[in-house]
Amino acid sequence: MPRTVSLARRSTLWRWLRVSLFVGALYDLTLSAALLLEPGHLLAWLAVPPPAEAFYLSLIAVFLGGLGACVLLAASDIRRYFDLVAILVAVRLGACGALAWFAWREPRLAGLLVLAAVDAGLALFHAGPWRILRR
């Protein structure tokens, strides 16, 4: 028998979902800007060597900026873009898995585990309220 969620709790969950999406958008857009404007500082902070071709960082930054814009769009009208949250969770979990995989295979990329952990945390932060609200 499915449990019902009170109106007050649903309202709180909608707020938490919106906040989680704004935090995710801020993370994506900040990371995108850092990769475009000062990739050396970010790579040094993560203790990750730069790729052989610098344009890869710019390409990743563009995709991250696009993801951040989509997340911001979902956060601005959460009820309209509610189904997009499932895709965002899947993308974050996929990024977490890919970053962790590369860090595991190549020890000099261990700094990527920081980004993997952030993506995993954001995926859970998005998925928690979304899972309850979709009932």
pLDDT tens sequence across 20-71: 999 999 999 999 999 999 999 999 999 999 998 989 999 999 999 999 999 9
Distance CA 76, CA 81 (A): 9
pTM of the shown model? 0.89
Q: What is the pLDDT of residues 64-108, one digit of tens each?
A: 999 999 999 999 999 999 999 999 999 999 999 999 999 999 999
Cβ atoms of 96 and 119 closer than 8 Å: yes
Q: Which of 130, 118, 32 is nearest to 87 (CA)?
A: 130
At 2 the pLDDT is 57
Q: How far apart are the first and last CA of the chain?
A: 12
Helix 7-37, helix 55-76: angle, nearest 10: 160
